[in-house]
Amino acid sequence: MCGLNSRQRIKLSNVLMEIFNSGDWKELFALTDTEIFMQHHSRFIQDVNWGNETLKQGCIEAVKYILDSDEDNLKEIWEMSGVQAALRRKEGELYNAIEAFVDGIEVVASPSVSNANQTVFKALEDAEVLLTTQGASSAYDRAHTALHGFLKQVCDNKGISYSSGDAITALLPKVNAYIKQQPDVGRNDKVFTMLRSAGAMLDTINYLRNHHSLSHANQVLLTDADAQFAINLTRSIMSYIDELVG
Would you kindly state where each structural domain of the chain is located, as residue ranges?
A: 6-102, 118-245
For residue 97, give the nearest of 89, 109, 110, 88 by alpha carbon.
88
Q: Which helix (H) or strand (E) holds 195?
A: helix 189-196
- Residues whose CB falls within 8 Å of the CB of residue 163, separated by 6 or more in sequence, listed in order: 170
How many other CB atoms sit within 10 Å of the CB of residue 101?
A: 22
Q: Apex CA 111: angle with CA 105 and CA 115, to 5°?
A: 150
pTM confidence score: 0.52
- Residues whose CB falls within 8 Å of the CB of residue 46, separated by 6 or more in sequence, listed in order: 52
pLDDT tens, residue by residue, 176-232 = 889 888 887 676 777 777 777 776 777 776 666 566 555 544 445 567 777 777 778
For residue 208, give the nearest of 231, 181, 191 by alpha carbon.
231
CA distance 207 to 66: 39
User: In this predicted structure, what is the pLDDT of residue 136?
Assistant: 65
Among the CATH numbers 1.20.120, 3.30.70, 3.20.14, 1.10.3470, which is that of 118-245?
1.20.120
The alpha-helical segments, DSSP class H, found in 109-223 are 118-133, 136-158, 168-181, 189-196, 198-212
Does the structure show a pLDDT above 70 at 43?
yes
- The span from the first CA to the last CA of the chain, in angstroms, equals 29
pLDDT tens, residue by residue, 133-181 = 666 666 777 777 888 888 999 999 999 999 988 888 889 889 988 988 8
